[in-house]
């Protein structure tokens, strides 16, 4: 936070040292307060929403975070060049870097964050635990890897620095501990420049519960209730809510007290979060303190009726909190993180253009988005598109409202986790508040499955897409040659349209026959008939019930824009579900074929390491790791698709690869015995440790 010399200093212009959703979030409050805004952006983000919306923007040449958003010297220089008074760190990147905070203060700027000393005290999880132990905050006792015994299992290996699941491993067998510690250390060193890791007991079915704190420079500390963030994938949060359900008054008071002691122990100022692991027996243990604003802060804002960013600025200007105690909480709020990813395929991140992102609003629904229609999701940054938040007087109402908003959203672009979010919110365990960090370990397979009538819904959506496409073509024809007439005395033959459903890759053939005096009829969908057909909307009667299908087509393929008409992507939205299709050409291009047995990179990235002692000609088993590819802040493990022989390894550690690059070639065991034809090329398998 600002120094004593800054007390009473009025902030007139703020630079946000970040990008995407959090930059836009801070700018929104600044505009409401009459504060000017400055953005920084990489080359990849030159036309990103946060760069477009700011009053001024400064370029950070390059694309990689290490060259741009992690360059504190460039960001400070940008603030000075743009005439900013203060720097807001956002979250991620340099938001918890004490050296950056000091550089901002030394440049004569106001730092809208905690004192550098507080950041430093909490930067290392091992040192933070020692400090919290002295402050009387409950902890899990660490276990030295060399002294671990069978009765200590399972264990959790964690990076001392950083967060987001990097450098984290669950160990269930003592024999694997040494290798997992080494792997976690290597990942932590690559991600944070610090390879220190520690080991502690892993609590099965624990809950991730945290407390939002806010402290001024006048001795007041607010504990703004609890949040439950137990639904996580790869140790990253997916759904968060406030207050945490099913806590006793004693538990809440204990968590609030421990969070306040943690904040006072480091002389904290500003907004921060103290995170706890709540064991099944009800005991809470300190995990870490995030010395910044959290991604999930909107649920606290909704429940307490506060603007945490406005309060951050107020405290940075030297003002006290408005009262000795925070306001009373009201109602319940739930937030879902919308990611460009495919949960059914090990949460594989997706890239491409976002054509449309619209979430129905209304009272109690909030959208904090990092992208807008026309923006690109690139490989350089986290794939989170937006956060959708719902508030209501009760938890059940808030959950229902959020699920409905997500279900009715129009999200056209890369594959997302939207369906998973809706199904998670409606799962009986979530609905009843039975939450823990193993939720997706137990339920992911079921949550990724289509409903029992999923195939019928999919085919109805594809039929609607085909009808809309035919109507669009007829409309276009009527503007030119259609005016010349086209009457014929013969019945029309069946029309065929081929699609590939995305994600998943299931290929569908839609056959329908134009009918005189009415909409076309489907030849392979009993109980489904068209009522009205337009180029952007089709009404179908499905088993006697009328449904509206909104249809939108965009001339780009799954690998990016420019694929041409035959590679168009079509999005169909209806109460029966949202579906995306790629139009398949009638005659496949032989140039699209890849060498059989190839493992392909599904996204641009960097090969961070290869499997030890593995070379061409070696036998491999199904699921055996061959190499690790880092992309979009995640590490993806590429594995052998079947038992066989590694014919070729085409990449080296540190090599940058593009979409579709051949990483390795594996011949299956069966092919080796028979000498027969090899299977088609397989995509790289993402099974890696989290980001």
Give the active site residues: 292
Which string of DSSP letters, residue by residue, matches 444-506?
Answer: HHHHTSPPTTHHHHHHHHHHHHHHHHHHHHHHHHHTTGGGG----SSPPPPEEEEEEEETT--
Cα gap 372→370, rounded to integer Å: 7
Helix (H) or strand (E) holding 302: helix 297-304
How many other C-beta atoms are found inside a 10 Å radius of the C-beta of residue 642? 17
| Residue 599 tokens, joined | 């493992």
**135, 161, 217 from 266: Cα distances, Å:** 10, 17, 12
Q: Are 540 and 344 in contact (CB under 8 A)?
A: no
Cα gap 581→578, rounded to integer Å: 10
How many other C-beta atoms are found inside a 10 Å radius of the C-beta of residue 58? 20
**133, 141, 167, 689 from 197: Cα distances, Å:** 19, 15, 8, 15
CA distance from start to end of the chain: 29
State the greatest distance between any 2 C-alpha atoms of the chain, in Å, as a whole number.
92
Q: Are 580 and 352 in contact (CB under 8 A)?
A: no
Residues in the chain: 691
How many other C-beta atoms are found inside a 10 Å radius of the C-beta of residue 360? 13
For the chain, give me the number of helices (H) and strands (E)? 16, 41
The strand pairing partners of 451, in sequence order, are: none
**20, 275, 300, 456 from 468: Cα distances, Å:** 35, 51, 44, 18
Closest CA to 645 of 614, 600, 676: 614
**536 Cβ contact list (under 8 Å, min separation 6):** 468, 550, 551, 552
3-state helix, strand, coil in the chain (%, to 5): 30, 30, 40
3-state secondary structure of 567: helix
φ, ψ of residue 259 to 5 degrees: the values are: -65, -40
**578 Cβ contact list (under 8 Å, min separation 6):** 407, 409, 410, 411, 418, 419, 571, 572
Question: What is the DSSP code (8-state) at residue 428?
Answer: H
Cα gap 332→325, rounded to integer Å: 20
Cα gap 345→263, rounded to integer Å: 40
Cα gap 553→569, rounded to integer Å: 6
């Amino acid at each position: 936070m600002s120094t004593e010399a800054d007390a009473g200093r009025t902030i007139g212009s703020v630079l946000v040292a970040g990008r995407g959703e959090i930059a836009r979030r801070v700018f929104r409050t600044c505009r409401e307060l009459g504060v000017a805004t400055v953005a920084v952006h990489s080359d990849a983000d030159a036309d990103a929403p946060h760069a477009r919306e700011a009053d001024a923007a400064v370029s950070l040449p390059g694309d990689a975070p290490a060259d741009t958003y992690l360059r504190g010297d460039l960001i400070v220089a940008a603030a000075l060049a743009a005439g900013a008074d203060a720097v807001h760190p956002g979250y991620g990147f340099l938001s918890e870097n004490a050296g950056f905070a000091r550089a901002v203060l030394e440049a004569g700027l106001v730092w809208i964050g905690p004192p550098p000393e507080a950041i430093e005290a909490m930067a290392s999880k091992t040192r933070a635990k020692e400090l919290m132990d002295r402050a009387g905050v409950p902890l899990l006792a660490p276990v030295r890897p060399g002294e671990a015994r069978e009765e200590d299992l399972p264990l959790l290996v964690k990076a001392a620095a950083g967060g987001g699941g990097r450098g984290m491993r669950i160990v269930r067998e003592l024999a694997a501990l040494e290798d997992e510690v080494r792997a976690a250390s290597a990942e932590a060193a690559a991600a944070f420049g610090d390879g220190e890791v520690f080991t502690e007991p892993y609590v099965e079915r624990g809950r991730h519960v945290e407390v939002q704190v806010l402290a001024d420079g006048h001795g007041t500390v607010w504990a703004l209730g609890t949040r439950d963030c137990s639904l996580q994938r790869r140790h990253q949060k997916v759904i968060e809510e406030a207050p945490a359900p099913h806590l006793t008054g004693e538990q809440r008071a204990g968590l609030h007290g421990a969070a306040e002691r943690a904040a006072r122990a480091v002389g904290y100022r500003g907004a921060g979060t103290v995170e706890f692991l709540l064991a099944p027996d009800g005991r809470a243990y300190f995990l870490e303190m995030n010395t910044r604003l959290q991604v999930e802060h909107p649920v606290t804002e909704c429940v307490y009726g506060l603007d945490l960013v406005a309060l951050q600025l107020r405290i940075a200007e030297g003002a006290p909190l408005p009262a000795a105690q925070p306001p009373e909480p009201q109602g319940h709020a739930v937030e879902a993180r919308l990611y460009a990813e495919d949960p059914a395929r090990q949460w594989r991140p997706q890239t491409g253009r976002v054509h449309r992102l619209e979430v129905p609003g209304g009272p109690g629904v909030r959208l904090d988005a990092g992208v807008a229609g026309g923006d690109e999701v690139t490989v350089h940054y986290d794939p989170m598109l937006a956060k959708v938040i719902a508030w209501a007087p009760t938890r059940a109402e808030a959950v229902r409202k959020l699920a409905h908003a997500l279900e009715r959203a129009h999200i056209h672009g890369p594959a997302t986790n939207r369906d998973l979010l809706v199904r998670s919110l409606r799962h009986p365990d979530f609905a009843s508040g039975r939450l823990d960090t193993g939720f997706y370990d137990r339920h992911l397979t079921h949550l990724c499955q289509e409903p029992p009538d999923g195939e019928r819904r999919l085919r109805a959506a594809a039929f609607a897409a085909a009808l809309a496409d035919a109507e669009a073509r007829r409309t276009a024809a009527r503007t030119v040659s259609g005016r010349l007439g086209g009457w014929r005395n013969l019945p029309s033959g069946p029309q065929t349209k081929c699609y590939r459903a995305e994600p998943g890759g299931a290929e569908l053939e839609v056959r329908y026959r134009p009918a005189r005096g009415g909409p076309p009829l489907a030849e392979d969908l009993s109980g489904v008939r068209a009522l009205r057909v337009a180029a952007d909307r089709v009404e179908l009667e499905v088993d006697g019930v009328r449904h509206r299908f909104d249809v939108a087509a965009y001339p780009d393929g799954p690998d990016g824009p420019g694929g041409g008409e035959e590679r168009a992507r079509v999005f169909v939205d209806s109460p029966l579900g949202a579906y995306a299709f790629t139009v398949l050409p009638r005659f496949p291009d032989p140039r699209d074929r890849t060498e059989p047995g190839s493992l392909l990179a599904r996204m641009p990235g960097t090969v961070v390491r290869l499997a030890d002692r593995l070379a061409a000609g070696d036998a491999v088993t199904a699921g055996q790791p061959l190499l690790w590819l880092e992309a979009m802040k995640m590490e993806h493990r590429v594995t052998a698709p079947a038992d066989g022989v590694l014919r070729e390894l085409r990449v080296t550690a540190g090599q940058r690869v593009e979409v579709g690059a051949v990483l390795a070639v594996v011949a299956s065991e069966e092919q080796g015995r028979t000498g027969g034809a090899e299977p088609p090329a397989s995509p790289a398998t993402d099974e890696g440790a989290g980001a």
